[in-house]
Structure 1
Amino acid sequence: MPTNVYFNHAVQSEQNLHEDLVVESLRFYGHECFYLPRTIVDEDELFGEDTASKYGDAYQVEMYIENTEGFDGEGDLLSKFGVEVRDQATFVLSRRTWDRFVSLDSNLAVTTRPNEGDLIYFPLGNQVFEIRFVEHENPFYQLGKLNVFKLQCETFEYSHEEIDVGIAELDNIEDQFSYQVSMTLGAGSGDFVVGETVTQTVATGKTVSGNVVDYSSQGATSKTLKVNNITFSDTDVPTGSTMFVLSAQAGAGNIVGATSNATRVITTAPDQYTMPNDPLADNKDFETAGSNIIDFSESNPFGNL
């Protein structure tokens, strides 16, 4: 038989009062955080993963951290890959705040709730967390309504994502941890500007581009340029170089800035195995040792054809 029509557990006025109290409590006891929606640049539809993504917006919202005695997870681990920080936290975000400030972002995969893969910047601990799971039914229909999202997060591990949100602490992540190359420049005109895009023609119809991370001068005709986010004009397997090359090489030109219009000769080409922002990287050592062991000139090592 149907429920008693004289008892109603979903009174609109009571629901609104309860939601007001929840939002007010989050603003009293919560922390100022920033929500960063993820934009998928290049999705692999076969494996269902994003091979390239970026974060271009940051929304300041209040969040409550359920972890009162410290972060969960495995903490700091010393592994063969170095020190890994595996902190986990659960953030509570009100639905009202989400609807008013974040849900209108055009880059959201799902606008009705926070998305897995989005980031949360926690300024108090100067940490960035990645959303792993969104629990939307806890607490379970108090007074017949859902008022909050519980975001289960873990420490964000940077993997060459593009971050440009206008917050220095976040924008510096890309400059600090992204793959970079360094090259020496010679004669030319103008000076490059940090943040601009530089381009060089390496062969007919082929160009290499990157973003300026650092630019310094050792004299009138000797400059050092560091770039990241290196891209190529040829999306297929290139037949020539896929890196900045000497300007004296046949078919190559000067490196040119898109904003400063500076143009200079590359006198020392970058070594793609040397990482100027990671002095402990041993890519060059492995490449050198591997060349002494593996004979890449052998085309058929298991037969006589």
Structure 2
Amino acid sequence: MATKVLIATDKPFAPVAVNGIREIVEAQGYELVLLEKYTSPAELIAAVADVDAMIIRSDKATKEVIDAAKKLKVIVRAGAGYDNIDLQACTDKGVVAMNTPGQNSNAVAELAFGMMVYMARNFYNGKSGHELKGKKIGVHAYGNVGQNVGRVARGFGMEVYAFDPFMTDEQIKAAGATPLHSAEEMYEMCDYVSLHIPATEKTKKSINYELLNRMPKGAVLVNTARKEVIDEEGILKLMADRPDFKYISDIAPDNAAEFAQFEGRYFFTPKKMGAQTEEANVNAGLAAARQIVAFLEHGDAKFKVNK
């Protein structure tokens, strides 16, 4: 019986990405199975019953899904974030969970700057705005996406600073930024802060009133990470206390309706769309397929994210 690889995507890959994945999978003699635009978790649970490998995007790989996948050996999240996978369930079942770091990085960085320019120029409403050149930008977490943000920021003529406790000063300098040694230091000095931290127990709601209130007058917070890292009540309080503060994000907070009182000082895209480009779509999908083949054929677990 052929090895089965499932693509389970509520938000489907672009057709060109699916075709590329199919070529990689079928060249290895595997069978590709598609589940697209499904409407209930039950459909996903049914689809995983006899598959050996699985590619998802923002889809929820819950314990129920993992438990139902009796033959599953590897699951790959086509993208960087993997908080939609129950890692403990994977570990308990002996399933390797992976992500595809770096494949969406440029797309996210370009969106961050698209939103920054949109805000700086007052949503293109004809009124005088601001330039990014000469402004200080702090990049909170300087991994793949953060470094792309730094690269684009330098093109705008911004001063680039980074805080990342998992990198040395030398690594940050080599990647084109000035290293800082605490979040507090960065927020105090930077006109813009771009968030790229994952949503973990330590980081959830860590971007709070006290931290953001350190930012200079006219400061802008840019969030293309996760909404869970924001203390939503805290940022609302800050917006009320500081008429100069602005917030832009590619994912609306749960309390988005409450921001209506701050017209002109916030912008949220209709859905999470940092990676929503055809190029990123293809890159992440093909990377996921190649990683599955490398793991099943050679045991290569380079991008494993569970223990």
| Class of the TM-score when normalised by the shorter of the 2 chains | under 0.3
Who wins on radius of gyration, i.e. which is larger? 1
Q: Which has the higher strand share?
A: 1
Q: Which has the higher helix share?
A: 2
- Taking CA–CA contacts closer than 8 Å with sequence separation of 6 or more, which of the two structures ends up with the larger relative contact order? 2
Q: TM-score, normalised by structure 2?
A: 0.22
